[in-house]
């Protein structure tokens, strides 16, 4: 799903790319039905297998939750990945090629009455010489028709199309890096975020899955974390960064004076307690038959110094009191024996 304001201008291609980048930030939640101005779109993404020269049929459902009628117009655009975020990047200014030109969809206007539903048929016909592997585009529904050569602002919702053309398919990838966020090897408490950089070296998108197992200094498993629960895809020849969180409970914000913050952070350390050296081992698989496999490890320390300091002081005080009580008891015994003697 994508919701954004898109500015179109044939003279400002950089503006189009920047707007597209902002749009992509809102497209990332593609596993949930999308809404824009009370327009619901299902599904937010489609994964299709295509055969060169053969037409494929699918559909997109629209639902108008507004109290007024809405007119929608369609437009198809290719997308690529933005850096290592995995967010789609749309360039509305470049000449159309590839998957976006294979798509046939009703141009509009599509009139949705209040509370109305409409199923939009979509056909995709790859050419007989289509390159095998992954092809990526989005079908947008806009409140204004696409017009070249002038600035136009419109609201859009969209469905991402992740298509795989049959042929010489290569599924390959590797873990480039497993680290803790920020690269720190020393932490005072949980949560700790593990950062995985996965590189797709094949020609189709991959959705790596697996676990990160955290073991303590003695090799005992402390936690087993599911990796890529959002099922985010890495596009071909790109590297994507995934984050996996290890925590016991939510952390409360600290504020106020030094001592107030000290005790607040002490509570955070106690509620997210971990101590010593840990090793995180990641195992992942990807591909249609899980033939892509990866293994990586990272070691780090957790030293909750506030907890250690407070508990040490408490221990010293208890020890001091015990020693004092024992001395007084011994003194009482000596005096008692002297009286009896």
CATH of residue 185: 2.60.40.10
Q: Are residues 89 and 141 in the same domain?
A: yes
Q: Are residues 199 and 328 in the same domain?
A: no
SS3 state at 22: helix
Beta strands in 125-169 (DSSP E): 133-142, 155-165
pLDDT of residue 281: 98
Q: Are residues 9 and 153 in the same domain?
A: yes
Q: Are residues 138 and 246 in the same domain?
A: no
Across 147-151, 195-199, 330-334, least confident range: 147-151
More confidently predicted of 286 and 18: 286
Q: Cα 267 to the chain's mean position, in Å?
A: 29
pLDDT tens digits for 269-292? 999 999 999 999 999 999 999 999
Please state, in angstroms and rounded to a whole number, the distance separating the CA atoms of residues 331 and 315: 24
Supply the range of the domain harboring residue 330.
308-341
Q: Are residues 142 and 189 in the same domain?
A: no
Query: Among residues 177, 184, 105, 182, which one has the least CA distance to residue 138?
Result: 105
Residues contacting residue 161 through CB under 8 Å, at least 6 positions apart: 45, 46, 48, 99, 103, 124, 136, 137, 138, 139
Confidence of residue 301 (pLDDT cuts 50, 70, 90): very high
pLDDT of residue 38: 77
Q: Are residues 155 and 10 in the same domain?
A: yes
- Total number of domains constituting the chain: 3
pLDDT of residue 17: 41
Q: Are residues 186 and 296 in the same domain?
A: yes
Please state, in angstroms and rounded to a whole number, the distance separating the CA atoms of residues 136 and 173: 19
- By residue count, the chain amounts to 341
Across 34-48, 157-171, 246-260, 276-290, least confident range: 34-48
Strand pairing of 186-187 and 292-302? parallel
Confidence of residue 157 (pLDDT cuts 50, 70, 90): confident
Average pLDDT, the chain: 86
Q: Are residues 294 and 333 in the same domain?
A: no
């Amino acid at each position: 799903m994508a919701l954004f304001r898109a500015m179109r201008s044939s003279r400002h291609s950089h503006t189009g790319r920047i707007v597209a980048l902002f749009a992509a930030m809102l497209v990332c939640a593609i596993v949930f039905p999308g809404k824009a101005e009370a327009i619901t779109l299902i599904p937010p993404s489609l994964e299709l297998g295509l055969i060169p020269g053969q037409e494929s049929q699918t559909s997109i459902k629209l639902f108008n939750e507004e109290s007024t009628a809405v007119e929608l117009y369609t437009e198809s655009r290719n997308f690529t990945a933005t850096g290592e975020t995995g967010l789609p990047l749309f360039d509305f200014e470049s000449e159309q090629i590839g998957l976006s030109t294979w798509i046939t969809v009703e141009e509009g206007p599509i009139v949705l009455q209040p509370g109305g539903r409409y199923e939009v048929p979509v056909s995709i016909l790859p050419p007989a010489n289509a390159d095998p592997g992954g092809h990526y585009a989005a079908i947008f529904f806009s409140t204004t028709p696409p017009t070249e050569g002038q600035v136009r602002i419109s609201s859009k919702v969209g469905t991402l199309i992740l298509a795989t053309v049959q042929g010489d398919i290569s599924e390959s990838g590797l873990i480039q890096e497993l680290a803790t966020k920020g690269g720190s090897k020393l932490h005072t408490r949980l949560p700790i975020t593990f950062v995985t950089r996965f590189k797709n070296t094949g020609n189709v998108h991959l959705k790596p899955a697996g676990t990160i197992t955290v073991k303590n200094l003695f090799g005992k498993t402390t936690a087993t974390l599911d990796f890529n629960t959002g099922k985010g895809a890495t596009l071909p020849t790109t590297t994507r960064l995934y984050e996996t969180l290890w925590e016991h409970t939510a952390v409360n914000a600290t504020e106020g004076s030094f001592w107030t913050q000290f005790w607040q952070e002490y509570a955070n350390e106690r509620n997210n307690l971990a101590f010593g050296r840990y090793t995180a081992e990641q195992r992942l698989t990807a591909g249609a038959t899980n033939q892509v496999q990866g293994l990586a490890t990272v070691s780090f320390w957790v030293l909750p110094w506030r907890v250690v300091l407070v508990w040490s002081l408490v221990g010293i005080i208890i020890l001091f009191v015990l020693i004092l009580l024992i001395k007084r008891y011994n003194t009482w015994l000596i005096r008692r024996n002297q009286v009896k003697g």
